[in-house]
Amino acid sequence: MPVTYEPIATATATGSFDSLYFYSIPSTYTDFKVVAVTRSSTLSDWRIRFNNETTTSTSYSTTILRADGASVTSTRTTSTNGITVGRIVNVADTYSLTIIDVFNYAGSANKTVLCESSADLNGSGQVMRTVGLWRNTAAINTIQLYHPGENSFIGPVTLYGIKKA
């Protein structure tokens, strides 16, 4: 049986950041998955961008399903400069989990992004599912995870590649 689920890179920095990059992603996989365990100085959402399409880009959109223990909401943003992937918590010793899947990331279609976010705080917090679209047909070779204006802590963030064979 061939190995079809492989770690490509892991960030394990103990310092703070507002952007985290994975560069030179090989095009030898079918899909990729990011598993991120993170904490921040404030409770807020964070985002993903690709191939250094940064602040001037408007080629991203996101649809969000969000629940906080009392209510369920759905929101959408269009023509923005990043895809919302989840919530980062801000309590000592407690981290949020964000799982991001991108299928066919090296293909020639626009890229759909599926995200799971788990951020329970035993009395507060949120659970989210989001779907995003990057309206660009280029193969993805760079990922930027960013938390605008915040200091976040990595513990860890891993990029996996998944092969169909």
Binding footprint of another protein on the chain (CB under 8 A): 3, 5-7, 10, 35, 37, 65-72, 93-97, 99, 116-123, 125-127, 129, 155-156, 158, 160
**For residue 133, which of 76, 87, 88 has the smallest C-alpha distance?**
76
**14 token code pair:** 């103990």
Query: Closest distance between another protein and the C-beta of residue 20, in Å?
Result: 15
- What are 146's two structure tokens? 């960013």
Comparing CB distances to another protein, the nearer of 43 and 67 is: 67
- Cβ proximity to another protein: between 4 and 110 the closer is 4
Q: Smallest distance from the beta carbon of 78 to another protein, in angstroms?
A: 23
**HEC per residue, 41-62:** CCCEEEEEEECCCCCCCCCEEE
Whole-number minimum distance, CB 160 to another protein, in Å? 7
Q: Of 112 and 158, which has the nearer Cβ to another protein? A: 158
Query: Which CB atom, from 123 or from 149, has the smaller least distance to another protein?
Result: 123
Could you give the CA distance from residue 56 to residue 28 in angstroms, rounded to a whole number? 29
Take residue 145 and report the two structure tokens written for it.
Answer: 């995870």
CB of 89 vs another protein, minimal distance in Å: 9
Nearer to another protein, 46 or 134 (CB): 46
Q: How far is CA 24 from CA 112, 117, 143, 162, 164, in A?
A: 20, 26, 9, 16, 20
Say if residues 3 and 132 touch (Cβ distance below 8 Å): no
How near is the Cβ of 151 to another protein at its closest, in Å? 17
**Strand pairing class (5-11; 96-103):** unpaired
